[in-house]
Amino acid sequence: MNKRRYALLLVVLGMAALPLLAQQPCARFSVAVGSDEDKLMLAVTGADNPQEQLTALDSFAKDHADSKFMPCVYEYTAAANYKMKDYDKSVENGEKGLAANYQDLNLLLNLVRAYVGSTKVGDSAFVAVNKIPDQIKEELGNPSRPNKATDEEWAKIQKENAEVAKDCHDVGVWAFFQLAPRVTDPAKQVQVLDDFAKAYPDDANSVQLNVAYFQAYQMQGKLDKTVEYGDKVLAADPNSVAVANTLGLINAFYSQTPSLDKAAAYAQKALVAAQNLKKPDGMDDATFKKQQDAQLGMAHLTLGYSALMKAQKGTKYAPITEELKNSGELLEGNPALQGQALYYLAFAYEKQYPPNHQAASTALQKAVALPGPFQAQSQALLAKVKAAM
């Protein structure tokens, strides 16, 4: 009995079919001519819009729920749902297709796109993303040369095949980085990143992946791993100002083995990067200035603190107090860090010779009004300063 492949319906020459297979639903699913499945596919491919396709598919599903063709019905239904921007339904039907023990590249690509379009995220989303590279190899990794293809035709087929493979690979990478931020558990984030790095080894050292690791480990409070991945990000992109500032703060204040020299080096990188920041398209001037000031303020805080802690007898304190004063002004809107900057500014005024009690008192009176970890310390130091005035 004659059979047709519906992946080839729009293909005139067989030699042109290879690069298109990954773009068609049920690319390797054959049905008998004249069968109910055949009539369904003629109705689907002949429909004028996705709603007509869904009507035909739903009717078939009701009448032929036990058909071996149901995985393909789910795949076509998921594609029609996606075209209608009903992303949750597209996810639901795509997952039914996978659960029915059928898998092809089109199904996986449609499913991950639908997940991105929806508000959902779950293990199945990342499972689908991570299956894409192997499915690319299976469907596109070893094309056969048609018997009558000339060298030029064969080269064209191979080129187009490679381009389709890259496009499919890129969809998987794109979908992952859209979905990964939806995972709120930092430990789960790391596991998701590890699985992705194994499935996409060529992207394992990408800046985007290293940034994601950096953020996940920072949320977990694993400072050694945060620094490790932060250094990888900076090696590839020295202008990652937020990363440089974070590493500076870690080395100055939070590490079990602090290094003032490293802290200052990171802060200096952050300062240069912050000064050279360009306003993103669509961002208003006020928002951009606030973000830039925050990064500049953190850099000045780390630089001022590092210099203060290294100060010896005879050190000129004017540059130190200027750093910390700038930091306190720039960190307006970030009470915790602003309070910290003002506390160390007051500490610097008190440490210099002779102490400047009045300037220290002024800084501390601002600091004690700011909620954060340095509020109580500022209150205690203010009491000492007032007693010495």
Task: Flag whether 95 is in a domain.
Answer: yes
Flag whether 71 is in a domain: yes
Residue 283 falls within a domain, yes or no?
yes
Show which of 261, 287, 310 is a domain's final residue: 310
Q: Is 192 within a domain?
A: no
Give the predicted TM-score (pTM) of the model. 0.82
Q: Are 219 and 297 part of one and the same domain?
A: yes
Asked if residue 274 and residue 331 are part of one domain, the reply reads no
Which pLDDT belongs to residue 24?
64
Spatial contact of 221 and 192, defined as CB atoms under 8 Å apart: no
Q: Are residues 13 and 90 in the same domain?
A: yes
The b/e string for 359-373 (b: 16+ C-beta within 10 A; e otherwise) is bbbbbbebbbebebe
Structure tokens at 83: 């075209």
Same domain, 143 and 11: yes
Q: Please check whether residue 187 lies inside any domain of the structure.
A: no
User: Is 217 domain-assigned?
Assistant: yes
Q: Are 225 and 134 part of one and the same domain? A: no
Please give the Cα distance from 206 to 193 (Å, whole number): 12
178 and 42 in a common domain:
yes
Query: Domain holding 157: CATH number?
Result: 1.25.40.10
Q: Residue 301: its pLDDT value, please? A: 98
Looking at 167, 182, 197, the residue that finishes a domain is 182
Amino acid sitting at position 80:
A
Domain boundary residue, one of 259, 275, 310: 310
Q: Is 57 exposed, middle or buried (0-12, 13-18, 19+ CB in 10 A)?
A: buried
- The pLDDT score that the predictor gives to residue 207 is 87
**Residue 52 placed within a domain:** yes
Is 83 found in the same domain as 146?
A: yes
Q: Are both 20 and 134 inside the same structural domain?
A: yes
The reply to whether 301 and 328 lie within a common domain is no
Backbone angles phi, psi at 329, to 5 degrees: -75, -40
| Owning domain of residue 370 | 324-389
232/291 same-domain check: yes
Q: What is the DSSP letter of 237?
A: -
* Buried b or exposed e, range 34-53, using 16+ CB within 10 angstroms: eeebbebbebbeebeebeeb
Low-confidence ranges of the chain (pLDDT < 50): 1-22
What is the per-residue pLDDT for 25? 72
Asked if residue 352 and residue 263 are part of one domain, the reply reads no
Would you say residue 193 lies in a domain?
no
* Beta-carbon count within 10 A of 274 CB: 24
| Number of domains into which the chain is organized | 3
Regarding whether 330 and 298 lie in a shared domain, the answer is no
Paired tokens of 163: 């381009």
Q: In this predicted structure, what is the pLDDT of residue 316?
A: 94
Is 3 in a helix, a strand, or coil? strand
